[in-house]
Structure 1
Amino acid sequence: MRLPGRWLLLPLAIPLVLALLRLTDAEPAPLQDLEAQTLTLRYRLRGPLEPSGAVSLVMIDDRTLAEYGRWPLSRRLIADAVRRLTADGVAVVAVDLLFAEREHGIPDPDAELAEALAASSRAMVGFAFLFDPERAVSSVPPAALADAAYRVVREPAVAADTGPPDPAGLIAPLETLARAAVPAHVSVLLDPDGQLRHDQTAIRYGDAWFPSLPVEAVRRFLRIDPDDMVLHLGSGVALGPDFVATDSRMRLAVNHYGPPGTVETHSMADLLGGGLAQGTFRDRVVLIGASARGVGDSFATPFSRTLPGAEHLATVIDNLLTGRTPTDRPALVPADTAAILAGGIAATVLGTLLTPILAGLATLMLIAGWTAASAILFATAGLWLTVTSPALAALAGFALSSARRTLIGDRARRLAERQRHNLMRYFSPEIAERLMNTNAPGLDDRVQTCTILFIDLVGFTGVNERLSPNEAMDLLRGFYRLVESAVLDHGGIVDKFMGDGAMAVFGIITPSPDDAADALKAARALASAMDTLNAELEAAGLTTLKIAMGLHIGPVLIGDTGGTRQFTYTVTGDPVNVASRLQHITRELGVVIAASDAVIEAARSSGGGGGAVEGFVELPLTSLRGRERPVGIWGWPAPPAD
């Protein structure tokens, strides 16, 4: 059977494909989405983290609107907030609000905000890309945004699709505001399940690539020259001497810290009202955003369904400043690939060596162990090791190897059953079973006490002359079936069929004290069956048949006999010869069954021999051909009186 060799690679096919997909960063979207769900679970198992304190939020909350007016808050107030933050020694102030339309007033609120932003020299404003063509506002960025793009962009050695789909438009700030501060995009792209897990470090618009607000804020905080912020398409962003790795789509995995309010948050009402201590924001990155009910943007994260957009940006900035971004999947490709292959191979071995139930349990333990290890490494070292692909590889290896094992086992069982069936056509079921269960070319010789039953159809030769070959064979087959039934039903085996006769043995497999009694019962059952057969033959106008049987018990040699290539498994010894002679002498004695003294004595001494010897009569000592001493014989039924 060649299945194992050919099928050995089949359970490994899926793990190999999964490993190749991981190695080439070509995993299908459903697989990536499933992996993202495991990341959410790992965040929740890890729990919240304490931010570094380098980033703060000033939020336009419900209290701010209650004290200073309705939404949108006047840009005069935002200008006042920028001035206060600048005076407090802020390192960077980023306004996460979109100023796409003018605010009318005297004096001009937009001019006042532009003046405050320009005077700060540390200010940033956000703009947003639109990916829905129906919502596109501007197809051409204002000239003021040109300087906001990456100055140095390095293409990958091998051309590949990088970044998100090209935007259909953008929402840009007023040009006066864009020129007064450094603009950067605040666009986010959600995963298919609606969760926010990444920062889009670069988005292409036209021929330029624009950095996200967190990346630009960190550059300004670290005072890195714009020419030293290098975009490496498909791999990451260099911020001076440091390199921030991303995936091939320029996405940076976000290390979420916790629910809303985890990053230090202040109400703008406190800032505008002078209720904050001097130096609260010194040397910090401060984001101005909105969290009032019904305004601003919010996103689902592992810790909350409504994390304000500004707090998301603050979290990314803190990640970049502290180096606490998760070690994302691109950097862990070798480890992930090894885990996929190891899981698939291990599960394949388990499915090959163990039963499906044990292999399934072991595979689940394997998956659970890797999942637990990945969760621990994520919580302690920030390593985002893939869980989904190794689990799928292990399940595939287990399922296919177990299926292969089951199929091979079924084939082997069917083959064994077919071989057993074939053997049972020529051997008794017991001997066939022993031959099936031995690795030796034959069965070992052994001496054992057995009861031998010889059977013969008396006068069949004369009957055969009056029948066609087919009719004669049909008659013999009917006789053989009677012999088989009588012998097997009483625990014996048919050693061989010999023309119009047969030899049966009792006790060849498992000797029993009842062997002699069972042999006598089988002989009597066969005699009764012959009476029924003769009645049917007579009713059909055919010649009836007579049967003669002889039994003897004693030690015989059991084993293979024959030449060098063809054997017969049989018994030999004096008891065989005596049983044969007793069968022949039944004609002279006028009985159907002739049993030796030894058989009758053995039957009587066993627990079930009473009924077996009933009706047997003791006959005179008789000399058998080839034996010096006469043999005591019992006959059934009693011979007719002289």
Structure 2
Amino acid sequence: MPRPPLHTLIALVLAAAWGAGLGVAHLRGDIPLIDGAEATLTNFRNVLVGGRPAPDVVTIVAIDDETARQAGHYPLPRATLAKIVDAIAAQKPKAIGLDMLLVDPGTEADDAALAQSLKRTNAVLAAAGVFPESRQRVAEDGNEPLARVPSALQFLEPQERFAQAATYGVVNVQTDKTGTPRYVPMLFRSGERIEPSFSLRLVSAATGEHTAVISDQIKIGDRSVHTDTGYLMPLLFYGPRGTIRTIGANAALNGQLPEETIKDHIVIIGATVTGGGDVFPTPFDPVLPGVEVISTSVTHLIAGDGLIRDRGVRLIDLGFAIGLPLVLVGLIAWRRNTIGLIMALCVILAWLSINLSAFKHGIWLSAAMPITAVMPPALLFGAAQLWLGRKQAKHFEQQSELLQRIQAPGLAEYLARDPGFLAEPVRQEAAVVFIDLNGFTGLSEAIGPTAVRELLNGFYDLVDEEVTACGGAITSFMGDGAMILFGLPQPRRHDPADAARCCIRLADRMRGWLGTLPEAIVSRIGFKIGAHFGTVVASRLGGRGRQQITATGDTVNVASRLMEVAARNKAEIAISNDLLLSAGPDSEPHLEGRLDGPIEANLRGRTRSLAVWLWRSQR
């Protein structure tokens, strides 16, 4: 087997180093730069895998709109809440969780009634951590496992009389950059104080089993709960709201609680009343009640059916972060043809299948981190291979040489007579016209490179013909647009009028040209034109090997921004008042159609407004 070239060995080493660096950072926790991508990809995998029925573990008793109406107002009086607790307790649940903060005192009689109700049952109350950020994070240092527990400034605890009547746990969840609750921390800290989560405390109360903290795990009795960095338990949602059985609290007040839904179940009381309860976006529901998020975590702890993302899973991610770039770079180096690309695609598809299958079976392998590890090495090495290929390099050199010979139409002959033309910048008056295709970027993604090339060639030919006929010079084609000058090689008195005439002719030709295109293309693109007259700096820009004649200055910037004014006002052309005043009566024969204005338009990047005329065709 031939020895790999030196540049291939260097590429393999750099790819492995890049992947290893990302993987090691991933072992310590999420990487902020790719956290948003991972959140989106995780939601996508949730949708692909689909919903599933929730185990019959938890029943939600919801303080909903009907309950609030029956009670007379919201929040409910604590005496009413006591009645709900008593009605649930009479059905003998394993435990009752109150997913609401009882931090403020109510009336003495109501608070006393609720405290007595809590003493008579196995209840867990909610506390909350106050964090310096809206999204709590784990610490970035510390070798002890507990050093990476989410750290709160303080805890908001239930009133003392309630805390003496029942236990409590911290109810916060951790969201990702999309706002989706991605984790429920099992432990929280504030200073030297460690508090369990509401979910963990409720499960311990329901099962009567003690909890213990082990490195990367929480033990509940004999069962182990695999957690991520900082004792975070990932969430895997069952479906939209109501997937976990939910009963209105008014059923408890009316004595209509079904015994089979309460007895030997964990019951969580929480608010779903409109405007009164916290809600979160999830892959299955944009407004999932917070009580159902907590209920999901409690169900995971009991049924053991949540996602697994612990150090072992992150080590697998590290392996993919190193292995995938090495394999893809190796394939690109081995076969720089269709076979190599197909094999690389097969490797990517195999990894995607493994990732999705693991997620379906409750193992959360990172998707964004391996992609980030693969793309830079593969793209850079692929680009280097193209650059090193002699045939490709020669082809690109020929194309580049051909493009470099193209100069602004109308100036080639003048340059031949005067090679020193604009060797030094010149300030002069000129009219500047910009034309651009709307919606072209999205269209180019849909129709492919061959159709894009044909479309642009037709557009360029049209612009070239009309500009040449009006005596202008195209200084550059910019992808799907063009910059046109009237005033080169020498300024003329009728430059503003010629620019106005060119705008109208371009608009007429563009409408006719668009009418010849397929409906699927016409429906997605349009055009806009902006024109202004003023002082420009005409010069040659570039180095010794390549120079281009162009104009710069505020006049050019204004003409470009006027296209935005045209698009914003649903007009085809936006012409500055300065250009029309400079054109004078010479422009009037060309402005058939509907000319509205002047309007005072604000231009992006400019503090002062500009008087602008808008032109729309009669058709």
For the criterion TM > 0.5, the same-fold answer is yes
Aligned in 2, Cα 1:159/1:48: closer, same or farther, shift over 3 Å? Answer: closer
- Do structure 1's residue 369 and structure 2's residue 350 form an aligned pair? yes
Aligned to 1:363, the other structure's residue is in SS state: helix
Cα distance, 1:334 vs structure 2: 3.2
Aligned to 1:81: 84
Aligned to 2:124: 124
CA distance in structure 2 between the aligned counterparts of 1:8 and 1:238, rounded to whole angstroms: 43
Aligned in 2, Cα 1:337/1:249: closer, same or farther, shift over 3 Å? Answer: same
Aligned to 1:9, the other structure's residue is in SS state: helix
Aligned to 1:197, the other structure's residue is in SS state: strand
**TM-score in terms of structure 1 length:** 0.56
Identify which of 78, 97, 100 aligns with 2:100.
Answer: 97
Aligned to 1:202: 187
CA distance in structure 1 between the aligned counterparts of 2:127 and 2:23, rounded to whole angstroms: 39
Task: Give 4+ residue runs of structure 1 displaced > 6 Å after superposition.
Answer: 411-414
Cα distance, 1:301 vs structure 2: 1.5
Alignment deviations for residues 247-293 of structure 1 (CA, whole Å, 9 cap, x no partner): 22221101211111110000011111012233430111000011011
**Contact preservation (8 Å) 1:191, 1:197:** yes
Aligned in 2, Cα 1:112/1:13: closer, same or farther, shift over 3 Å? Answer: same
Aligned in 2, Cα 1:407/1:374: closer, same or farther, shift over 3 Å? Answer: same
Aligned in 2, Cα 1:356/1:72: closer, same or farther, shift over 3 Å? Answer: farther
Aligned in 2, Cα 1:27/1:54: closer, same or farther, shift over 3 Å? Answer: closer
* One-letter amino acid of the counterpart of residue 206, structure 1: G
Q: How does 1:74-473 map to 2 (within 5 A)?
A: 74-104=77-107, 108-120=109-121, 122-132=122-132, 161-164=147-150, 166-225=151-210, 229-232=211-214, 235-355=216-336, 359-360=340-341, 362-379=343-360, 381-410=361-390
CA distance in structure 1 between the aligned counterparts of 2:323 and 2:271, rounded to whole angstroms: 49
CA distance in structure 1 between the aligned counterparts of 2:32 and 2:15, rounded to whole angstroms: 23
CA distance in structure 1 between the aligned counterparts of 2:302 and 2:106, rounded to whole angstroms: 35
Aligned in 2, Cα 1:11/1:205: closer, same or farther, shift over 3 Å? Answer: closer
Cα distance, 1:81 vs structure 2: 1.2
Aligned to 2:236, the other structure's residue is in SS state: coil
Cα distance, 1:179 vs structure 2: 0.7
CA distance in structure 1 between the aligned counterparts of 2:195 and 2:10, rounded to whole angstroms: 53
Aligned in 2, Cα 1:160/1:187: closer, same or farther, shift over 3 Å? Answer: closer
CA distance in structure 1 between the aligned counterparts of 2:322 and 2:128, rounded to whole angstroms: 42
Aligned to 2:59, the other structure's residue is in SS state: strand
CA distance in structure 2 between the aligned counterparts of 1:50 and 1:351, rounded to whole angstroms: 45
Aligned in 2, Cα 1:8/1:290: closer, same or farther, shift over 3 Å? Answer: closer
Aligned to 2:550: none
* One-letter amino acid of the counterpart of residue 90, structure 2: A
* One-letter amino acid of the counterpart of residue 160, structure 2: E
**Contact preservation (8 Å) 2:8, 2:333:** no
CA distance in structure 2 between the aligned counterparts of 1:314 and 1:219, rounded to whole angstroms: 14
Aligned to 1:60: 63
Aligned in 2, Cα 1:36/1:329: closer, same or farther, shift over 3 Å? Answer: farther
Aligned to 1:301, the other structure's residue is in SS state: coil
Cα distance, 1:296 vs structure 2: 1.5
Cα distance, 1:3 vs structure 2: 3.7
Cα distance, 1:396 vs structure 2: 3.1
CA distance in structure 1 between the aligned counterparts of 2:280 and 2:231, rounded to whole angstroms: 20
Cα distance, 1:2 vs structure 2: 4.8
Aligned in 2, Cα 1:158/1:64: closer, same or farther, shift over 3 Å? Answer: closer
- Do structure 1's residue 13 and structure 2's residue 17 form an aligned pair? yes
* One-letter amino acid of the counterpart of residue 13, structure 2: L
CA distance in structure 1 between the aligned counterparts of 2:228 and 2:95, rounded to whole angstroms: 27
- Tell me the matched-pair count: 385
Aligned in 2, Cα 1:285/1:156: closer, same or farther, shift over 3 Å? Answer: farther
Cα distance, 1:91 vs structure 2: 0.5
**TM-score in terms of structure 2 length:** 0.58
CA distance in structure 2 between the aligned counterparts of 1:359 and 1:101, rounded to whole angstroms: 67
CA distance in structure 1 between the aligned counterparts of 2:144 and 2:74, rounded to whole angstroms: 49
* One-letter amino acid of the counterpart of residue 42, structure 1: R
**Contact preservation (8 Å) 2:131, 2:154:** yes
Q: Please, which runs of 5 or more residues in structure 2 have no aligned partner?
A: 135-140, 398-619
Aligned in 2, Cα 1:103/1:377: closer, same or farther, shift over 3 Å? Answer: same
Aligned in 2, Cα 1:388/1:356: closer, same or farther, shift over 3 Å? Answer: farther
RMSD: 2.7
CA distance in structure 1 between the aligned counterparts of 2:247 and 2:146, rounded to whole angstroms: 44
**Contact preservation (8 Å) 2:229, 2:310:** no
Aligned to 2:492: none
Name the larger-Rg structure. Answer: 1
Q: Please, which runs of 5 or more residues in structure 1 have no aligned partner?
A: 135-154, 418-642
Alignment deviations for residues 192-211 of structure 1 (CA, whole Å, 9 cap, x no partner): 22111110111102312111
CA distance in structure 2 between the aligned counterparts of 1:157 and 1:188, rounded to whole angstroms: 24
Aligned in 2, Cα 1:280/1:406: closer, same or farther, shift over 3 Å? Answer: closer
Alignment deviations for residues 427-476 of structure 1 (CA, whole Å, 9 cap, x no partner): xxxxxxxxxxxxxxxxxxxxxxxxxxxxxxxxxxxxxxxxxxxxxxxxxx
**Contact preservation (8 Å) 2:331, 2:343:** yes
